[in-house]
Structure 1
Amino acid sequence: MKSDFLFKIIFFLCLSFSNFSFSQTEKEIFIIVKDDNNRPIEGAVILLDDIKQDKKTNYKGIFSIKTFSLPQKISAFSPYHGINIIKYNGKKFNRIIIKKKKDITPQLITKLKNKKFGIENAEQYRNIYHYLRGQVPGVQISRDNNIKIRGIGSVNGSTTPLFILNGVQIGKTTFENIIPTNVKHINILKGPETAIYGARGANGVIKITTY
């Protein structure tokens, strides 16, 4: 009699533990983000139930995560394309197409970043120096706004890099008047990368592309 009772208790505990383990199983979710021309979107921000994830999509537009808590919806946001939201239906593989809006502007991008997603470095920058400090790695800026590209020493007593705006060399005054919300992206060049600019690029090159 005792043995039957003990067996039932053990059986019940095993069944409960099995159900608990099943409910706590991790599930892997794959998300691929593409534009309306079926091209992968690299660097898209993924949100699960409006919670921003640390990783972004890779160069193939793919994002993956293992999670115990399954989302109700998945959002994908790209500053250059826009946003799309889908309902999660339990599938392992999920596809999100972001159709680029013709009317998307830098101001709208900033608004989306600030109000919706809290993406890192989404604040309204006061000037281009503030933007560089917050957005661009590999650059050192002193309190009096002298710029030095890390890894490059002083050449001819100056650390000021060469500024290229949309393919054209500009001076520091023009550079200082660039509006941060007009910046599409910035590339920092140093070493062999600056060879095409000759001696002008001895202190490194900051290439700015605007909208």
Structure 2
Amino acid sequence: MKLKLGIIGLLVCLAFTNIQGQEAILTGKVITFKGYPVANATISASKSKQTTTTDSLGYYSISCRAKKDNIKVKVAGFVGQNFRYRGEKEHAVNLIYIHNESSYYKVIKNKIMTKENLDYCIENLLYENNNFDRMANIYQIIQFVHTTAKVETVNGTKQVFLTSRGPSSISSGQQALIVVDGIVTDDINSVSPKQVKSVEVLIGNEAAEYGVRAANGVVKINLKDN
């Protein structure tokens, strides 16, 4: 009996040691505009169930249960990122800024960046940071910038829907207004990601300058100068 208990205890101890051996500490830094620290970003690991936040300089440290843990990075005003932990000791993340009035307010209010740094980055580094060259098409870029956007084919043409209702009633014209370099258009299939300088989604008061046409939001696409 004592021998059996001893074996069981040894197995439990080995199992615990094995689990502990699978744990590792991942450190890193969350930045934006390819150099500016992002404070108060939430970092979570799905397998270890650990969560932490970045400090004022953008640094974080989190326990990962095993290799291939799924790490999520989230913070107001920026597009979140997921990546796989593969045993590395450090991992840096550069976040894409969501360029609109709401994001600007959240970033400053939550002390994610200082107003001075954010203003400078928007003025000088926005287009360099928000590089869309690797996207498959213009619609993927729109959904990257505005994660709840829906793309549906209506009468043979792809349309973008920003409202929560989506394209539930085609006849009511619920699609967003698309503006490319200041010109309203219905077809953006020919727009290549390599041409895109910036994409901005305007909803509600932000879209007021476009009048009643903007009732379902506006997608502003600015192209690079060739």
Instruction: Tell me the TM-score normalised to structure 2 length.
Output: 0.46
Higher-Rg member (1/2) = 1
